[in-house]
Amino acid sequence: MREFSAGSYDVAVIGAGHAGIEAALAAARMGKSTLLTTLEKSGVALMPCNPAIGGTAKGHLVREVDALGGQMGLSADEALLQIKMLNRGKGPAVFSLRGQADKALYHDIMLRVLENQKNLDVLYDETTKILVKDGVAHGITTLENGEIEGRAVVIATGVYLNGRTIIGAETKSSGPVGFKNATHLTDNLLSLGIDIRRFKTGTPARIAKDSIDYDEMEVQEGESDIGTFSFMNDGNLYSQMPCWLTYTNEKTHEIIRKNIKRSPLYNGTIHGIGPRYCPSIEDKVMRFPDKTRHQIFVEPEGRDSDLMYIQGMSSSLPKDVQEEMYHSIKGLTHARFIRYAYAIEYDCINPLELSSSLQVKRIKGLYSAGQINGSSGYEEAAAQGLMAGINAALYVDEKPPFTLNRDEAYIGVLIDDLVTKGTNEPYRMMTARAEYRLRLRQDNADLRLTEKGYALGLATEERLKKMQERREEIERIVRLSETVKIKKENGGIFERYEGVQVEKTMPVKEALKHPGITFDVLKEVTNAFSEFSKSALFSAEVMIKYAGYLEKEDAAIRDARRLEEKILPEDIDYNALSGLRIEARQKLSKIRPATLGQASRISGVSPADITVLLIYLKTAK
């Protein structure tokens, strides 16, 4: 990274949060001269909410970003305080890594990465305008440095556009954590005809570490033998810090109910739409009156930090109410507040304005990524940022865009959901959103995506070689499982681990199809697989154990791809197709799907409408 010097760039990226960093690094690593603008240095890679990476479905996104050659997984591994695997009781399709990160260290690591990245300049200045001529973006204007040429532009402003923080009756024009907000760009986006919405999110209080009674809580340790986020790291995380679990109680809930009229969420102070899947504590209490308690996790913000993050207690209630309700919780009776919980409202765009490449449909060369697209979460932002940066670089080279289908990656599901279905609330990635989640596991993200990242010039040769070696290792395990046999006299392991009696000799491949039998169990009766890595054994085991289900998913994927392969002309006049219902004409005209498959996923487009489009395509040919 060089300090900014006036000139022209291939790609200009606005915002240095999780989306902006991935976009800028991707473009620079693909050989494009790149400018990254951000309001202030301290906001780079900021974790204004929970200093954690991953979680249900989010861990999949981090692994996919990493497999393509992105940065989040590598930096998260270096900053980890604790890591664990979620959803162990629900099957390997939804296993998800979640790691607690050192907030300050993560920021420092990302700054170091940016500073050492070739082709990348950073400018600490507010971007006020996207320069557009004849429907084509050609640069930006900043508050202090004026016009800067850029052949492609990526907007990744997060929650900073006209940000407003709210605590009870106190409101402040501000970005998260009291940082400066961006007050000029929204008007410019509106003038370009882009649909702007107002969303809301929030964060809990930060409590002094030495004011918490840990003995009154349940300790939550990490796991030391499950690997980390990046496929480039082989080791496990051993030096881990604990987290703690406590609960709200009826007294907590009564305090909230008694003061609910003072909540900005309920008295009209907050106008933005908040996330359904990450509600404030007052929302949880009011929406689920039958629940007598809610889980509260107490998590460190850093190895040397004095702050503890109180996950599950997001709120915008007044300060005096926050103190009363926090003090009613076991372990937090003497809690000393360092920073009060707050809500934040911000401007974002309607993601239906975007194509599958994350390019704004009405403006060539203008891309958008992250929370400005109506999504929530660091991981969703990083995934979009990576894709926007890749496509901005490809646009500069006049190459076709790079997209991922729903059957190829969670990233594909995320982006397709946003640009096809839109969202009326902050969008959160969940495993239930993916139709083919047994195929899209986090353990095989490298096998699915690294070759694609390498072909783009993003994933390194070292990364590709590592993936190929792991693939070969998995294939060797599968082949060996067909020849190594579990002898009849060892059939007792089936009774011990599965509760059934087996009195015959069988290949390992057949044995693994029994639900209770794993490679870990088979170590008791054979050492034939001792040379293989744990990650390769796990991937091979899933492939063997769930082979029948995977074949069914593959058949469903082939059926779905028949619709995806039917391209809809860009200039099709949906209003002229008399067989379409009025709602379908309106939705199709607005979204302008690229394929028949995308059209079939639009809310308001029925199977009958798809039949009309099929007939049209045949007639047009």
Residue 492 banded pLDDT, cuts 50, 70, 90:
confident
- Do residues 247 and 285 make contact, with C-beta atoms less than 8 angstroms apart? no
Residue 504: the pLDDT is 87
Residue 6 banded pLDDT, cuts 50, 70, 90:
low
Taking the C-alpha atoms of residue 498 and residue 51, their distance in angstroms, rounded to an integer, is 40
Taking the C-alpha atoms of residue 578 and residue 615, their distance in angstroms, rounded to an integer, is 12
Residue 489: the pLDDT is 85
Question: What residues contact 78, with CB distance under 8 A and at least 6 apart?
Answer: 105, 109
* Cα-Cα-Cα-Cα dihedral sign, residues 175, 180, 183, 189: negative
pLDDT mean over 35-51: 95
Residue 5 banded pLDDT, cuts 50, 70, 90:
low
Residue 2: the pLDDT is 53
Residue 1 banded pLDDT, cuts 50, 70, 90:
very low
- More confident position, 301 or 488: 301
**pLDDT, tens only, 506-561:** 999 999 998 889 999 999 999 999 999 999 999 999 999 999 999 999 999 998 89
pLDDT mean over 572-578: 91
E strand or H helix at 476 = helix 461-483
**pLDDT, tens only, 59-83:** 999 999 999 999 999 999 999 999 9
Q: What percent of the chain has pLDDT over 70?
A: 99
Whether the per-residue pLDDT at 619 is higher than 90: the answer is no
Q: How many residues in total does the chain contain?
A: 621
Give the torsion through C-alpha atoms of 75, 78, 83, 85, to 10 deg: 50
**What are the tokens at 189?**
């986006």
Q: For the chain, how big is the Rg over CA atoms in Å?
A: 26
**pLDDT, tens only, 247-298:** 999 999 999 999 999 999 888 888 777 777 778 999 999 999 999 999 999 9
Tokens 């929970």 sit at which residue?
Answer: 50
State the greatest distance between any 2 C-alpha atoms of the chain, in Å, as a whole number: 80
Q: What pTM does this model have?
A: 0.95
pLDDT mean over 83-88: 94
Mean pLDDT of the chain: 94
Residue 132: the pLDDT is 98
Residue 268: the pLDDT is 85
Whether the per-residue pLDDT at 3 is higher than 70: the answer is no
State which amino acid sits at residue 595: T
**What are the tokens at 134?**
């004849």
Lowest mean pLDDT among 140-149, 485-494, 579-588: 485-494
Taking the C-alpha atoms of residue 249 and residue 558, their distance in angstroms, rounded to an integer, is 51
Residue 493 banded pLDDT, cuts 50, 70, 90:
confident
Residue 501: the pLDDT is 78
Other Cβ atoms within 10 Å of 238 Cβ, number = 8
Whether the per-residue pLDDT at 239 is higher than 50: the answer is yes
pLDDT mean over 595-603: 92
SS3 612: helix
Taking the C-alpha atoms of residue 555 and residue 545, their distance in angstroms, rounded to an integer, is 18
**pLDDT, tens only, 396-446:** 999 999 999 999 999 999 999 999 999 999 999 999 999 999 999 999 999
pLDDT mean over 364-372: 98
- Do residues 167 and 25 make contact, with C-beta atoms less than 8 angstroms apart? no
> Where are the strands (E) in 442-500, listed by range?
485-486
**pLDDT, tens only, 289-343:** 999 999 999 999 999 999 999 999 999 999 999 999 999 999 999 999 999 999 9
Give the torsion through C-alpha atoms of 348, 353, 357, 362, to 10 deg: -120
